Structure 1
Amino acid sequence: MAGPTTAERQKTADGGSRPPRPPRSRVRLPRTRTLVLSLIALVLIGAGVVWALYGSQWLRVERVTTSGTRVLTPEKVREAAAAPVGEPLISVDTDAIEDRLRKKLPRIDSVEVVRSWPHGIGLKVTERKPVLLIEKGGKFIEVDAKGVRFATVRHAPKGVPLLELMPDQESAAASLRRFDGDRLRREAVRVAGALPAATARDTRAVKVRSYDSISLELRGGRTVDWGSGEKGRAKASTLTALMKAAPKARHFDVSVPTAPASSAS
C-alpha cells in the first residue's frame, strides 16, 4: 500500500489545512483611447472658457460705477477714466485707467480700478484734501498735506487757512538765504497738516516770517506762535491742552512745546 503524499504529510505537520492564497490582482493601465478622449475634453473645456472670456457677449463691460467722490462728480471721473465699454471685461487694463485718472484729475490722491463680474468696472476714488490755500490772481490754489498743489478754485473752501509769506527784517533775510520760498511754503504746509482738527477749522491764516518763525491767526483775534515746523505732533498736543487750560487766552506760544505759554493779550 502506498504511503501518504507530500501534501498529506504537510497537512499533518501543520495540524490542519492552510487557507488558499488569494489570487494576485493586476493593475490595469488606462487605455490609450481613454487618455485621448480625456485630453480632447480638456482642450474643449479650455477653448470654451477662452471663448466665454474673450469672444462671447456674456462677459463684456456694460457699466462703470464710481465711489468716494466729494468735489469731483462721478460723471467727470467716468469720462476721464475712458473705460472701454463693450470690450471683454478680462482684457481691461486697470493700471492704464488708474494712470489716466491721476494724470487728468490731479485732485485724485489714489484710485483703485476693480472688475465687477460679469459686466462692471468699479472706480474707488480718494480725493486730496486741502490743508492750505495760496492766493494768486484773485483765485486760490489748494495744497494738500503732502505739499501737492492740486487745484485752483475761485472761492476759498471753508475751514482751510490761507498762507501768508511775510518775510521781514534781518532774520527773515537770513532765512531766505538758507531756505527759498518753496521750502518756506512746504514748512507752512507741514504746520497746517499737524494742526488738531478743531484748531485747523478755526485757523484763518498761517503766517511765515522765517523758517523758525511761523504763527497762526485764529478766529476771534487769537494767535499762536508755532515756531518751526519741527515737533508738530508735540506742539499740536500742547496747544490743545493749553487752550483747554486757558480758554479765555488770546495768545498762545508752543514754539517750545515743553515750555508753553499763554496770555490774555
Structure 2
Amino acid sequence: MAGPTTAERQQKKSGPPRPQRVRRPGLARARKLIVLLVLLVLVVAGGVWVLYGSPWLRLERVRASGTGVLTPQQVTDAADAPVDAPLISVDTDAIEARLRSKLPRIDSVDVTRSWPHGISLEVTERKPVLLIEKGGKFIEVDAKGVRFATVERAPKGIPLLELALDRESGAASLRRFGTDRLLREAVGVAGDLPRAVARETRNVKVRSYDSISLELSGGRTVEWGSGEKGRTKASTLVALMKATPKARNFDVSVPTAPASSAS
C-alpha cells in the first residue's frame, strides 16, 4: 500500500483548514457612524460649555463711544449690562431699548459683542435744530420733531421758536392743523437751513401755516412762506445772499421769484 502523500502529511501537521471570516461592511459603517456621533456630541457639549459655563467668555467690560453732550459713564450706567454673565447670553436688543428709554437724547445706538469679554455701545445723539422756551428753560427739538431734552441754557447756534400767530390766518391755521403740526413745519424749516444760515438764525417765527419767517443776526429777516419746497428755498436763499450781500430783507416764499431789499 502506498503511504500518505506529501499534501496529506502537511495537512496533518497544520491541522484542519480555518474558516474564513465573513466581512460585514454594514456593521463597520455603523460602528464608524456611532463613533462620529459620539465625537459630535462631545464637540457640541464642549462648545456649549465654553460659551455658557466656562469663565473664559464672560462679560467683563462695557464701553461707550460717539457721545457728545452725554458722557460715556452715563451711557454705560443706563445700559445696565449684566457683568459676569456669559457674553453669548447678553440681550443686546434689551440694552438698546433701555438706552432709548432712559436717555431720549440718543437717536440710535449700535450694541455689539466684543469677544471675548466686552460689549461696545456706538451712540449717535440727537442734534437740536430748534428750541422752545418754557418756564425759563429750553426744550431741544431735533429734525424729526422729537422733543428730547430740557436744558437750563440755550445752546449756541440753535434758533428759538416763536409762535406769533396772526389773528385771522394764524387762528385759522391753528384750528385746521393744531399746534403740533405748526411746530413740525417750523422744525422742517430749521432742518432745511444751510449750516451757514442756521448759525446766524436767531428766531423761527410762525405767524400761520403759510407764513414762516426767520430773524437772522444783524437785524436781517427772511420771509420763508410755508415749509414746502424747503431745500429749493434754502439753495435760493444762499444764492440771493451772495448776490446781494448788503441786503437786510430776503423773500424766498416763492423760490422761482426771490427778492431782497436793503430796508
TM-score by length of 2: 0.89
Count of residues in correspondence between the two structures = 240
Deviations along 1:184-217, one digit per CA (max 9) or x if unpaired, are 1111001101101110111000000111110000
For residue 49 of structure 2, what is the aligned residue in structure 1?
Answer: 51
Q: Equivalents in 1 of 2:173, 2:111: separation in Å?
A: 45
User: Is 1:202–2:200 an aligned residue pair?
Assistant: yes
For residue 81 of structure 2, what is the aligned residue in structure 1?
Answer: 83
How big is the shift at 1:155? 0.4
For residue 217 of structure 1, what is the aligned residue in structure 2?
Answer: 215
Q: Equivalents in 2 of 1:171, 1:32: separation in Å?
A: 88
How big is the shift at 1:36? 1.6
For residue 118 of structure 2, what is the aligned residue in structure 1?
Answer: 120
Q: Equivalents in 2 of 1:207, 1:194: separation in Å?
A: 15
Matches within 5 A, 1:1-265: 30-265=28-263
Give the match's secondary structure for 1:179.
helix
Segment drifting more, 229-238 vs 30-39: 30-39
Deviations along 1:23-67, one digit per CA (max 9) or x if unpaired, are xxx995543322222111111111100000000000000010111
For residue 14 of structure 2, what is the aligned residue in structure 1?
Answer: none
Give the match's secondary structure for 1:169.
coil
Structure 1 unpaired stretches of 5+: 1-25
Deviations along 1:201-253, one digit per CA (max 9) or x if unpaired, are 11000000111110000001110000000000100010011011111110100
How big is the shift at 1:182? 1.6
CA distance 1:221–1:27, shift in 2 (3 Å): farther
Give the match's secondary structure for 1:58.
coil
Give the match's secondary structure for 2:158.
coil
Q: Equivalents in 2 of 1:162, 1:59: separation in Å?
A: 50
Structure 1 counterpart of 2:242, one-letter code: K
Q: Equivalents in 2 of 1:219, 1:72: separation in Å?
A: 29
For residue 6 of structure 1, what is the aligned residue in structure 2?
Answer: none
Structure 2 counterpart of 1:85, one-letter code: V
Q: Equivalents in 2 of 1:187, 1:147: separation in Å?
A: 9
Q: Equivalents in 2 of 1:68, 1:183: separation in Å?
A: 32
How big is the shift at 1:173? 2.1
Structure 1 counterpart of 2:29, one-letter code: R
| CA RMSD, 1 decimal | 1.4
How big is the shift at 1:142? 0.1
Identity of aligned residues (%): 77
For residue 15 of structure 2, what is the aligned residue in structure 1?
Answer: none
Q: Equivalents in 1 of 2:83, 2:100: separation in Å?
A: 20
Q: Equivalents in 1 of 2:95, 2:172: separation in Å?
A: 47
How big is the shift at 1:169? 2.9
Segment drifting more, 178-187 vs 105-114: 178-187
TM-score by length of 1: 0.88
